[in-house]
């Protein structure tokens, strides 16, 4: 059974036929509402709703405050709570802007256009990683506009109704996590396509490398495949600016290690990747999704 089917098979009867469809219906109504509005109004109202949602997400806030303490041990609790509040506002804006994705991309600024062109013309394919930061969806949209075959590695939503609603709106081929997804990734690379993924997620069976200054389990499949198939790894971020537009930055390919041992080389790559993402997050903390258990679950039980 695939990871997606396993997640959705674990749903109770009431979740499958009452809660899940109801949540999907509410999200659909908001989607249509935001689509009707001008983009600025949709973003503003989404931000307000995001802040309101933040007040009731007690368990998620507890997780976020632990993560913020790890990343910013010298900041006061009041300053960490301010970052958390701004985070909820940012992600509310993010949802409000989703129906206006193309319009938002058209008014945004791109840095590293030469790196984007190199990706499109090198005839190799490869990876590009980002994080749950700013508006990562814009990176894959931009790649598709430059004529690239884009595949997105994603984790299926537990709610199957929501999964269909949200993921069908994405650009490119969707690759689920797990063994089935690994086979699809190999095929995309053979077809000279590019795989976009978020490298900041926890993976229990990954390798342990520092993230935000603390050891964290990290997926290494990107590094391992890049080494074995001799393809580059690029990196990109999309950060909200004060005027509401985004600055999309595409960086040059990572320098691959000279280490011959694949496991050691993959560890070196992922250590570099986590360091880069940690720097991005600390530069724009209100735009990262702090509410995931990024470290060992036991650390969140206090």
Mean pLDDT of 83-91: 98
Closest CA to 234 of 253, 221, 248: 253
- Residue 1: its pLDDT value, please? 43
Residues 276, 223, 136, 297, Cα dihedral to 10°: -80
| Alpha-carbon gap, residue 285 to 279, rounded angstroms | 10
- Residue 2: its pLDDT value, please? 45
Is residue 6 scored above 70 in pLDDT? no
pLDDT-derived band at 20 (thresholds 50, 70, 90) equals confident
- Residue 156: its pLDDT value, please? 72
Mean pLDDT of 59-73: 96
Alpha helices in the chain (DSSP H): 3-9, 13-14, 20-36, 39-56, 58-71, 77-97, 101-106, 113-121, 137-145, 160-167, 179-190, 221-229, 262-283
pLDDT-derived band at 86 (thresholds 50, 70, 90) equals very high
Mean pLDDT of 90-105: 95
- Residue 225: its pLDDT value, please? 95
Is residue 199 scored above 90 in pLDDT? yes
Please say whether the beta carbons of 96 and 51 come within 8 A: no
Tell how strand 214-218 and strand 233-240 pair up.
unpaired
> Looking at per-residue confidence, does 300 or 238 come out higher?
238
Full-model pTM: 0.90
Mean pLDDT of 12-34: 85
| Alpha-carbon gap, residue 185 to 192, rounded angstroms | 11
pLDDT-derived band at 166 (thresholds 50, 70, 90) equals low
- Residue 172: its pLDDT value, please? 73
Mean pLDDT of 188-192: 94
Mean pLDDT of 257-263: 92
Q: Is the dihedral of CA 146, 150, 156, 162 positive or negative?
A: positive
Is residue 36 scored above 80 in pLDDT? yes
Phi then psi for 210, rounded to 5 degrees?
Answer: -65, 140
Please say whether the beta carbons of 161 and 24 come within 8 A: yes
Arithmetic mean of pLDDT over the chain: 90
- Residue 7: its pLDDT value, please? 44
- Residue 168: its pLDDT value, please? 60
pLDDT-derived band at 102 (thresholds 50, 70, 90) equals very high
> Looking at per-residue confidence, does 203 or 243 come out higher?
243
Is residue 12 scored above 70 in pLDDT? yes
């Amino acid at each position: 059974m695939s990871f997606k089917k396993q997640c959705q098979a674990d749903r109770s009867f009431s979740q499958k036929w009452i809660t899940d469809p109801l949540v999907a219906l509410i999200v659909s109504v908001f989607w249509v509402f935001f689509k009707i509005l001008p983009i600025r109004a949709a973003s503003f109202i989404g931000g307000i709703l995001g802040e309101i949602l933040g007040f009731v997400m007690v368990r998620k806030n507890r997780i976020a405050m632990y993560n913020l303490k790890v990343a910013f041990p010298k900041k006061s609790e009041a300053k960490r709570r301010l970052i958390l509040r701004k985070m909820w506002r940012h992600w509310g804006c993010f949802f409000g802007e989703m129906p206006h994705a193309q319009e938002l991309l058209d008014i945004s600024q791109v840095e590293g256009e030469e790196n984007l062109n190199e990706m499109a013309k090198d005839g190799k394919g490869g990876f590009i990683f980002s994080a749950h930061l700013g508006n990562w969806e814009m990176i894959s949209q931009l790649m598709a506009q430059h004529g690239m075959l884009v595949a997105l590695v994603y984790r299926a939503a537990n709610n199957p109704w929501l999964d269909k609603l949200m993921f069908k709106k994405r650009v490119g081929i969707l690759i689920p996590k797990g063994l089935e997804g690994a086979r699809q990734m190999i095929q995309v690379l053979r077809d000279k396509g590019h795989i976009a993924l978020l490298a900041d997620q926890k993976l229990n069976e990954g390798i342990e490398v520092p993230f935000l200054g603390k050891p964290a389990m990290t997926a290494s499949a990107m590094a391992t495949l890049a080494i074995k198939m001799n393809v580059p790894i690029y990196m990109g971020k999309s950060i909200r600016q004060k005027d509401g537009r985004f600055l999309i930055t595409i960086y040059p390919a990572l320098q691959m290690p000279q280490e011959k041992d694949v496991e050691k080389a993959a560890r070196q790559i992922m250590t570099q990747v986590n360091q880069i993402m940690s720097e991005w997050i600390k530069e724009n903390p209100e735009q990262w999704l702090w509410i995931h258990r990024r470290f060992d679950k036991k650390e969140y039980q206090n």
